[in-house]
Amino acid sequence: MADRIPRTVYDADHELFRETVRSFIAAEVEPHDEEWERRGIVDRSLFRAAGDAGLLMFPTPERYGGAGVDDWRFNAIVDEEFGRAGYASAGLSLALQNDVVGPYFLDLTDDGQKARWLPGLTSGELVGAIAMTEPGTGSDLSGIATTAVRDGDHYVLNGTKTFISNGQNADLVVVAARTSPDRHRGLTLFVVERGMPGFERGRNLEKLGLHGQDTSELHFSDVRVPVANRLDTEDGQGFFQLMRNLPQERLSLAVTAVSAAEGVLARTLEYVTERTAFGQPIGSFQNSRFLLAELFTQVDVTRVFVDRCVELHARGKLTPVQAAEAKWWASELQVKVADRCLQLHGGYGYMREYPVARAFVDARIQTIYGGTTEIMKEIIGRDLGL
């Protein structure tokens, strides 16, 4: 379905790229998605194919194999098209590489680290993940208990992380660890590489939705991490580095949320037009018309705000508060839209074979990860001086 409101955030080059993304999804995702969902993990070939198609790490300089394009709108288009198509697990896998992990390797690495890691991340030969959350800490980053103790030219890393997306596939894991007792100035970020002794992956967690996303537990037992794998030149900057990158992560989730809502609405409109009850299309009943009118209006209004946030971020002007507003509002709306659209499908909506059932379960995590709705409201409330 065509955009209901003219969009001004993208130009002709962006729209040409959108066609590339759509073709990629049709060729590389759609034929394999159900298998990935059953296996509980997307195949690593997804990352390599995305790299070949130019869908990864757009700002990577040309000398490291990238396009050198620092325009976040290309990231947003990838997020939008996966969200609209309903392939949340595969989309999240790539969004982790582009929107969440990518900035740490692009912005916090020296030339030697860039040469080691950026070519593989950009080509899809290497898969990245970030390990913040621990069994005893959720949104409170200052409560991280994993430790890294300096020992000569290494740090000795000990701790456990959980709910780590791309956890099984990851070759490079950005780990937040405590290098001093200071709650905020005691965190440092390290890159732990596949195969380091003492680095073990726990089980691939069984989730309500996102079945194709390898969300995992990670364990670190006396892992000797070279000083050369520390991000930044000194200890204690990790908390501030994490906070700096969170607005982009939250905007990515908001972009995905509103696009997913648009996708499920379009498919539901088609369903209620074709499905009949009592001798007429179920979309012709006043309840159906009024509900869809409400949902389409809310999604249209949200799309305008999210597009504005994308424009601001592309110009380096997005604030943490605006990102928080976009994240909580769009993700809560995605959950509402999926729930109401499932209801319009009746009993068929509860069948896994119908895309609306998957849209419903995949939507639910959106209001939790990347910062819960409650944390987003706390950020906004504090900005109001409350």
Question: What letter represents residue 330's amino acid?
Answer: A
Asked if 247 and 176 touch (Cβ cutoff 8 Å), the reply is: no
Burial 189-219 (b: 16+ CB within 10 A, else e): bbbbbeebeebebeebbebebbbbbbbbbbe
Is residue 274 within 8 Å of residue 281, measured between CB atoms? yes
Q: Which of 249, 311, 353, 378 is catalytic?
A: 249
Q: Which residues pair with 191 in a beta bridge?
A: 174
HSE toward the beta carbon, residue 214, CA cutoff 13 A: 21
DSSP 50-92: HHHTT-S-TTS-GGGTS-----HHHHHHHHHHHHHHT-HHHHH
Q: If you ran DSSP here, which 8-state letter would residue 230 be given? A: B
- Is residue 225 within 8 Å of 154, Cβ to Cβ? yes
Closest CA to 310 of 96, 69, 73, 149: 73
C-alpha span between 307 and 300 (Å, rounded): 11
Q: How far apart are the C-alpha atoms of 41 and 37, rounded to whole Å?
A: 7
Rounded to 10°, the helix 12-24/72-85 angle is 40
**277, two tokens:** 């009850």
Q: Is 249 annotated as catalytic?
A: yes
Check: CB of residue 371 under 8 Å from CB of residue 250: yes
Q: Are 227 and 154 in contact (CB under 8 A)?
A: yes
CB 220 within 8 A of CB 199: yes
State the Cα–Cα distance between residues 211 and 297, nearest whole angstrom. 30
Instruction: List the catalytic residues.
Output: 249
